Amino acid sequence: MPNYAMILAAGKGTRMQTKLPKCAFPILKKPMIEYIVEHVEASCIDETIAVVGHERKVIMDLLGNRVQYAIQEQQLGTGHAALMTKELLEDKEGTTLILLGDMPLINVDIINKILESHDKMNNDLTVVTANFDDPEGYGRILRDNYGRIRAIREDKNATEAEKKTKEINTGVYAVNNKLLFEMLGKIERDPLKKEYYLTDIVELMADTHSVGTFTIRDPKHVMGVNDLYAVSQAEKILRDDINRELMLNGVSMINPETITIGHNVKIEGNVTINPNTTITGSSIISEGAVIGPNTEIHNGVIHENVHVKHSLIYDSEVHERTSIGPFAHLRNNANIGRDNRVGNFVEIKKSTTGSNTKMSHLAYIGDTECGNNVNFGSGSVTVNYDGVNKHKTYIGNDVFIGCNTNLIAPIRIEDNVFIAAGSTVTKDIPKGAMAIARGRQINKEDYSKNLIKPKPNNK
């Protein structure tokens, strides 16, 4: 029988106090709900529906057609949110797994095990529970004297005695799909919070159907991220897990608690990562690379034996043995060849370089195609913007660019060119030429005495 998933993500997330809707808020730079969808996609679920409402465009733009959508116009509680999927799901035979959009640490193993247990126990409803040392804020599991689950009591509605229960509702349920919609129709609005609680299906089914529980061993995977402090806790948990896995696979990390690696980053063995380094997005770091300290890489492809320190790399690629930094900034499709040197205070944007090219200090290279063995002197600038449009610079192979040179784009510098320091180059330079474009120096003999006066005596 098919399995369906329903992800409830329509809520305002009032406790977050952020503009972004809660389920779109990033954990290690990736929206919470994307983690959930990724794990659901890898699991034995056949069809997924996200319930969206508040700021739904943000979430729909994020997920595109990876899921189907049900709209909850008014946020009247989790029970009401689940009911919004009625049209899409009601007539289907099978099991529905209900997930919350604020539990980014769930994983594919847990999802598959819940569904396995639900089938094996022949349950109509399986409530996924966990034991929390600090259960505050979560719904509590109420059991009878035989240990059977009877109800879930929300924190706000619980008595002092009920609040002592450490077994909580994770908010995940596996449920017979047809029965689910029968029960959702029966939920009444909670008088205290004026919401329809999905949790009420437990009490509605406890006497008449087979209701069981599945307890998660490691509760950290099912924490609900309701506020910005919980965001930081979730990030810490995820960061520790990712770093541990990488270290066990041969990635050396110095001071790992200061290193943040995103969930989709790939790092090969024999890589060293130094302190205060963040690597996120779909970055790839190849063998022998040394990254950091104080480095940020987002969507960067770093090839073998590249060294990067004190630098920023966004949406860019760096080829073998090149060294980047300190204090370099690569962005917007910079593609740096092998054996390059990109040094202090160099910014490279939307440009490619061949092999053995050097820009060691203080340079800006934008919208440029540059060949092999080019030396950019300190202070070289490709002047790509005329105040209205951006223009391209072409530089061939074996070119020497003297210090403080401006290349006013659009411009072509052919192979084997030498440009004198301090030139402002406005015309193309042909192959093999030497160009000098600066004011000629005049020395006026014995003239400085007219300008440098002896200091007056202050006494």
Q: Which residues are catalytic?
A: 361
Residue 317 binding Mg ion, by CB under 5 A: no
For residues 187-216, which are near ligand UD1 according to CB under 6 A? Answer: 197-199
168 binds, among ligand UD1, Mg ion, none (CB under 5 to 8 A by kind): ligand UD1
Residue 239 interacting entry, from Mg ion, ligand UD1, none, C-beta within 5 to 8 Å by type = none
CB nearer to ligand UD1: pick between 168 and 328: 168
Write phi, then psi, for 116 (nearest 5 degrees): -60, -50
One-letter identity of residue 3 = N
- The option from Mg ion, ligand UD1, none interacting with 127 (CB < 5 to 8 A, set by class) reads none
CA–CA separation, 451 and 324 (whole Å): 45
Member of 24, 49, 67, 81 binding ligand UD1 (CB under 6 A): 81
Q: Which of 95, 165, 169, 283 binds ligand UD1 (CB under 6 A)?
A: 169
Closest distance to Mg ion from the beta carbon of 100 (Å): 6
Q: Residue 7 CB, nearest distance to ligand UD1 (Å)?
A: 8
Q: Looking at residues 90 to 119 of the shown chain, list those that interact with Mg ion (rule: CB under 5 A).
A: 102
- How far apart (Å, rounded) are the C-alpha atoms in residues 90 and 179? 9
Alpha-carbon distance values, 432 to 166, 246, 331, 447 (Å): 79, 50, 32, 39
Is residue 291 left, alpha or beta, with left meaning phi > 0 and alpha meaning psi from -120 to 50?
beta
Q: Is 256 in the site for ligand UD1 (CB under 6 A)?
A: no
Q: Are strands 266-267 and 211-215 parallel, antiparallel or unpaired?
A: unpaired
168 sits near ligand UD1 (criterion: CB under 6 A) = yes
Comparing C-alpha atoms, which of 412, 439, 417, 440 is closest to residue 427?
412
Q: Do 268 and 287 touch, CB atoms closer than 8 A?
A: yes
Nearer to ligand UD1, 78 or 323 (CB): 78
Number of residues interacting with ligand UD1: please give it, by CB under 6 A.
30
Binding mask 40-79 for ligand UD1 (x = CB under 6 A): -----------x--------------------x--xxxx-
Which residue among 5, 6, 9, 429 contacts ligand UD1 (CB under 6 A)?
Answer: 9
- What is the DSSP-derived secondary structure letter of residue 457? P
221 with 238: CB under 8 angstroms?
Answer: no
Distances (CA, A) of 186 to 34, 204, 336, 352, 447: 32, 8, 63, 64, 100
What track of x and - describes contact with Mg ion for positions 192 through 231 (by CB under 5 A)? Answer: --------------------------------x-x-----
Structure tokens, 107: 């994983």
Phi, psi of 256 (to 5 degrees): -60, -25
Residue 85 C-beta: closest distance to Mg ion, Å = 19
Give which of Mg ion, ligand UD1, none residue 366 binds (C-beta under 5 to 8 Å, depending on kind): none
Of the candidate spans 4-12, 85-93, 250-258, 374-382, the one that interacts with ligand UD1 by CB under 6 A turns out to be 4-12
Q: Which does 75 bind (CB under 5 to 8 A by kind): ligand UD1, Mg ion, none?
A: ligand UD1
* Residue whose C-alpha is closest to residue 7's, from 66, 48, 54, 59: 48
Alpha-carbon span 273 to 347, nearest angstrom: 22
CB of 241 to ligand UD1, least distance (A): 19
Look up residue 400 and give its two tokens.
Answer: 């020497």
Q: What is the DSSP string of 85-133?
A: THHHHTT--SEEEEEETT-TT--HHHHHHHHHHHHHTT-SEEEEEEE-S
The structure tokens listed for 277 are: 């380094």
Q: Which does 339 bind (CB under 5 to 8 A by kind): ligand UD1, Mg ion, none?
A: none
Rule CB under 6 A: say whether 34 interacts with ligand UD1: no
Binding at 77: pick from ligand UD1, Mg ion, none (beta carbon under 5-8 Å per type): ligand UD1
C-beta neighbour count of 427 within 10 angstroms: 10
Residue number with CB closer to Mg ion (198 or 302): 198
Stretch of residues binding ligand UD1 (CB under 6 A), selected from 8-16, 378-386, 399-407, 448-456: 8-16
Residue 74: exposure state from Cβ atoms within 10 A (0-12, 13-18, ≥19) = exposed
* Residues forming the site for Mg ion (CB under 5 A): 102, 224, 226
* Residues forming the site for ligand UD1 (CB under 6 A): 8-11, 22-23, 51, 72, 75-78, 80-81, 100-102, 138-139, 152, 154, 168-171, 197-199, 224, 226
